[in-house]
Structure 1
Amino acid sequence: MNDETFLRLKAFFPQVNFQGLDESWFRSLWVEKTFNQYDIITEAGSIEHYFYFVLEGVQALYILNEKGQKVVLGFSYTGSPSGVFDSFIAQTASSTFLEALKPSTLLGIHLSDYHHLFEKHPEFHKWGHLFFQNVLFGRLFREVELLTMSAEQRYVTFMQRCPEELKVIPQKYLASYLNMKPETFSRLRASVTY
């Protein structure tokens, strides 16, 4: 891991004081993984062994409905965390897929190293608490949006808050995430300003 990558990774853990941490040991915990566009990173039915930090790319987390269609639950992108968190923490089979929508480079930490990091440096517990609290709040806000907003409101809200790199992925993924047909998404994209 080069110095620039290390600084990006450190910035992901703002609650952690890296002064007393063995930098070379911390770097050694992370492995760089690359994926081509549309590679499956984690398959439904498998157990997630890595927590990822996205260096580059966009990924979608989705399930397959009874018709075999992808139902997108969320995205990860440059600078964000990625992975199938419930499977990673519980070490149970994933019900979801994680797919690279663009060529992606991820830094991954294996579960055993993740636990060792938390044991050796308890300040990571504060980060973990805040991280999973934010995940929970994000899921709650998403449920409220899906249950209370019109398709147009969901579209505008999403487009106002999403990073630019999400705006250029195939619109069928965005439409699925927003719980609308691709035709509706296309119509809104052409007619609604945000």
Structure 2
Amino acid sequence: MYENFQRYIDERVALCDAESKLVRSVAVIKKIRKRQYLLQEGDVWKYDAFVSSGCLRTYSINEKGSEHIIGFSIENWWCGDRESLLSGEPSRFNIDAIEDSELVMFTHTNFEMLCREIPAFNQMVNNILNKSFITQQNRINASLSNTAEEKYLNFVKKYPEFALRVPQNMIASYLGITPETLSRIRTQTARNKG
């Protein structure tokens, strides 16, 4: 499990043996089963978490009991609630496993120490945060500008693995459309291809 994370780092930065050992020494391995929570609304998120295997979702539940999925995380992605992490405030979100999952986690204190002590690690983290910010900007723009069909087609094009791994009702929630609308779009798309 840690080997996946080590490969992820090695593909992005070159660390010396001492730096690699420091990262490994503060890493915590966590396994969670399908439907198990990693974070529940009301708890404070205190980690930087890398998904070594599996699939998770981050979502909120409104006052009517409807779920609003804000993101998915699969292998080689990071997950967590950055707002709760940085503010120390209780989270508004839940994170649970869609599949059995394994994570490499760091307390935020240790993660900040790694960023201070290892400049290459810090640069890798900054690159990840920048890409994440751009992705969120693009998602907001798409959700405001695109039709339901465009949202779905862009989602499948950008994240084809999700279409195979994530239940359709969760994809609909992520896209901000009803499951019925998604079903209609999928049927129409299949007809157009046929």
Instruction: Please confirm whether the aligned pair reaches a TM-score higher than 0.5, indicating the same fold.
Output: yes
Tell me, yes or no, if the aligned pair for 1:9 and 1:53 is still in contact at 8 Å.
Answer: no
Q: Which runs of 5+ in 1 are unaligned?
A: none
Alpha-carbon distance in structure 2 between the residues aligned to 1:187 and 1:100: 27
Tell me, yes or no, if the aligned pair for 1:33 and 1:106 is still in contact at 8 Å.
Answer: yes
Tell me, yes or no, if the aligned pair for 2:60 and 2:67 is still in contact at 8 Å.
Answer: yes
> 2:21 matched to 1:30?
no
> 2:133 matched to 1:136?
yes
Match for residue 45 of structure 1 among 42, 45, 59: 42
Q: RMSD of the alignment, in Å? A: 1.9
Match for residue 72 of structure 1 among 55, 69, 72: 69
Counterpart AA for 1:126: Q
Instruction: Give the structure-1-normalised TM-score.
Output: 0.90
Query: In the alignment, which residue of structure 2 is the partner of 1:5?
Result: 4
Query: In the alignment, which residue of structure 1 is the partner of 2:57?
Result: 60
1:52-82 CA-to-partner distances (Å, cap 9, x unmatched) read 1111111111111121111010110011111
Percent identity, aligned pairs only, is 27
Match for residue 188 of structure 2 among 177, 186, 191: 191
Tell me, yes or no, if the aligned pair for 1:58 and 1:166 is still in contact at 8 Å.
Answer: no
Query: In the alignment, which residue of structure 2 is the partner of 1:126?
Result: 123
Match for residue 86 of structure 1 among 83, 86, 107: 83
Alpha-carbon distance in structure 2 between the residues aligned to 1:86 and 1:11: 28
> 2:96 matched to 1:99?
yes
1:113-148 CA-to-partner distances (Å, cap 9, x unmatched) read 111111211333322322222111111100111111
Alpha-carbon distance in structure 2 between the residues aligned to 1:163 and 1:93: 33
Secondary structure in 1 matching 2:144: helix
Question: When the two structures are aligned, how many residues end up with a matched partner?
Answer: 191
Instruction: Give the structure-2-normalised TM-score.
Output: 0.90
Query: In the alignment, which residue of structure 2 is the partner of 1:159?
Result: 156
Alpha-carbon distance in structure 2 between the residues aligned to 1:99 and 1:8: 25
Match for residue 173 of structure 2 among 176, 181, 186: 176
Secondary structure in 2 matching 1:192: helix
Shift in CA distance, 47/166, structure 1 to aligned 2, threshold 3 Å: farther
Q: Which runs of 5+ in 2 are unaligned?
A: none
